[in-house]
């Protein structure tokens, strides 16, 4: 049972940003809504206080808001991105940080939004932060973002099987993902799946052919 104060009450500036995002790309808005639900579950598993939970939820909700500056033809492109398109995509966390920084009610989220696509091992973007140099809310948002991307169909690939996605979370803990956040996500998402008795280590054919698309963090 969790106190109602843990449910984010969205301020007008946040709702406004979300409306702009949804008008630009409804798929991204729906993805962000799913990432929030996962991130809040991870936050609760890590026993964050209400303030920490709210920060995590807002960062997860707005982590992709900078994609309003990414043309739809890039977001929807079915094939690999070229170098120029990648540069535009990699700019989106910075643009998102600028958008939230412009509004006093959301300015405190700017650093975490900017860091929401950084990897634990330093190979993320835009600043190459690593480890505990990445805000906790960003680390939680990142692993939930990646997991939702893995189990969802995208224009450039099909969804990954849930068991394979859980294996990926475990395999990439300490590489792409914060180990603490990754293990917490496995704990909150994994048990219902594993109760079905499916083999945990079954390799997905998808992983063999399309892992590079995921590891390139197009989510
Ligand atoms: Fe995302």
Q: Which residue has the higher pLDDT, 208 or 128?
A: 128
- Predicted pLDDT of residue 37: 95
- Is pLDDT of 195 > 90? no
Distance 15 CA to ligand 1 centre (A): 18
Q: Average pLDDT, stretch 11-28?
A: 89
Buried b (16+ CB within 10 A) or exposed e, 74-86: bbebeeebeeebe
Residues noted as catalytic: 67
Distance 63 CA to ligand 1 centre (A): 6
Distance 117 CA to ligand 1 centre (A): 8
The pTM assigned to this predicted structure is 0.84
Distance 61 CA to ligand 1 centre (A): 9
Distance 34 CA to ligand 1 centre (A): 10
Poorest-pLDDT segment among 1-10, 75-84, 85-94, 112-121: 1-10
Count the domains in the chain. 1
Confidence of residue 158 (pLDDT cuts 50, 70, 90): confident
- Predicted pLDDT of residue 153: 85
Angle at 211 between CA 173 and CA 186, to 5 degrees: 35
- Predicted pLDDT of residue 6: 46
Domain of 131, in residue numbers: 4-215
- Is pLDDT of 167 > 50? yes
Distance 32 CA to ligand 1 centre (A): 6
Report d(CA 168, CA 146) in Å as an integer: 10
- Predicted pLDDT of residue 24: 92
Q: CATH number of the domain that 173 lies in?
A: 1.10.3210.10
């Amino acid at each position: 049972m969790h106190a109602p104060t843990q449910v984010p009450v969205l301020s007008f500036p946040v709702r406004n940003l979300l409306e702009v995002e949804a008008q630009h790309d409804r798929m991204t808005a729906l993805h962000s809504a799913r990432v929030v639900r996962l991130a809040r579950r991870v936050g609760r598993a890590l026993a964050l206080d209400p303030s920490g939970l709210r920060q995590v939820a807002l960062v997860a909700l707005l982590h992709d808001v900078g994609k309003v500056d990414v043309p739809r033809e890039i977001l929807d492109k079915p094939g690999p991105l070229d170098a120029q398109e990648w540069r535009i995509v990699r700019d989106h966390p910075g643009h998102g940080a600028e958008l939230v920084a412009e509004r006093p009610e959301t300015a405190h989220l700017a650093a975490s939004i900017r860091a929401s696509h950084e990897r634990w091992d330093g190979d993320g973007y835009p600043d190459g932060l690593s480890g505990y140099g990445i805000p906790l809310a960003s680390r939680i948002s990142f692993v939930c973002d990646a997991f939702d991307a893995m189990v969802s169909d995208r224009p450039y690939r099909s969804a990954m099987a849930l068991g394979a996605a859980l294996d990926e979370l475990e395999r990439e803990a300490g590489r792409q993902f914060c180990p603490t956040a990754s293990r917490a996500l496995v704990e909150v998402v994994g048990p219902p799946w594993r109760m079905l008795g499916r083999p945990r280590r079954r390799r997905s054919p998808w992983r063999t052919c399309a892992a590079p698309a995921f590891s390139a963090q197009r989510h």
